[in-house]
Amino acid sequence: MTSLITIAAQYTAERKSAEVTDWAARIGWVVGLLIFIALVYWLMRQGWKWRGSLQSGLPELPTAPGDPGEPRLTMTGRYHGSTTAGQWLDRIVAHGLGVRSRAGLTLTDAGLDVVRPGAASFFIPRDALREARLDKGIAGKVLAEGGLLIVTWEHGGTLVDSGFRSERAAEHNDWVTTLNHLISTTEGAR
C-alpha cells in the first residue's frame, strides 16, 4: 500500500508543466495577435465607410414637420436597420440608417416619425410610404416568423425596407393594418 502512494506521488510530481523560459516568443505571439485583431477591425470599418460612400447618392433624411397632427399609433422598441427593398441583406448605411438603436415610432396623418436616441432620427412622409408587412429578418437580424415590422418607403428614388421590433410584439399586426390602410387611402387620393 505504501508503494502505491509513493508511485502516485512520483507520478503527480512528474506531471508539472514546464517553466516558461521563452518570454520573447510568447510576447511576440501576443503582440502579433493584437495587431491581427486591430487589422481586422480596421478592415471592417473601412468596409462600412466604403458602403456609405457607395450610397452617398441618397438625399438627406426628411425631418418631422412642426405639427404632424394627432398620433394614430405609437410604439417603442428597436430599430434594426434599413435595406434596399426586397434585398434583406443589402444594408443601407448612409445617413445613419445602418445603425441599430432604440426607437420610438409615431404614426400620424402626415407620416411616420422615427425618433432614435443616440442616432439620427428621421421622418417618412405619408406619400413616401409603400407597404407594411411582418417578416422574420432584415440586415443580419433574424427572429421568429413575423417578429419584425417591415415598412417599405421611397427615399430619393430608392425603395427602402426599414425593420422595427416593438417591445410588445402583439402591436405589430395593428401597425401593419393601420399603415396599409393609410397607404391605400393615400394612393387613392393621388
pLDDT digits (tens, 9 = 90+) for 112-131: 999 999 888 999 999 999 99
**What's the confidence (pLDDT) of residue 13?**
59
Please tell me the least confidently modeled range out of 10-14, 19-23, 167-171, 183-187.
10-14
**What's the confidence (pLDDT) of residue 16?**
62
Distances in Å between the Cα of 53 and the Cα atoms of 30, 33, 91, 156, 166 are: 35, 30, 13, 16, 31
- Please give the model's pTM, rounded to 2 decimal places: 0.73
Listed in sequence order, the residues at least 6 apart from 146 whose beta carbon sits closer than 8 Å to its beta carbon are 134, 135, 136, 172
Burial class (CB in 10 A: 0-12, 13-18, 19+), 52: middle
Confidence check: pLDDT of 98 > 80:
yes
pLDDT digits (tens, 9 = 90+) for 72-82: 999 999 999 88
What is the Rg, in whole angstroms, of the alpha carbon atoms belonging to the chain? 27
Distances in Å between the Cα of 137 and the Cα atoms of 70, 92, 113, 131 are: 31, 15, 22, 16
Determine the 3-state secondary structure of 176 from DSSP: helix
Please tell me the least confidently modeled range out of 11-25, 46-60, 114-128, 136-150.
11-25
Smallest CA-to-CA distance from 98 within 81, 114, 116 is with 81
Which residue matches cell numbers 433574424? Answer: 142
**What's the confidence (pLDDT) of residue 43?**
94
**What's the confidence (pLDDT) of residue 63?**
82
Q: Do residues 154 and 176 lie in contact, with contact meaning Cβ atoms separated by under 8 Å?
A: no
Confidence check: pLDDT of 152 > 90:
yes
Give the separation between CA 137 and CA 82, rounded to whole angstroms: 11
Strands of the sheet with 122-125, listed across from one edge: 122-125, 111-115, 101-107, 73-84, 158-166, 148-155, 129-135
Q: Which amino acid is at 146?
A: G
Confidence check: pLDDT of 106 > 90:
yes
**What's the confidence (pLDDT) of residue 68?**
77
Give me the chain's average pLDDT, please: 84
Beta bridge partners of 75: 105
What percentage of the chain reaches a pLDDT higher than 70? 88
Q: Please report how many Cα atoms fall inside a 13 Å half-sphere around the Cα of residue 128, on the Cβ side.
A: 21
Give the separation between CA 59 and CA 111, rounded to whole angstroms: 18
* 132 pLDDT tier (thresholds 50, 70, 90): very high
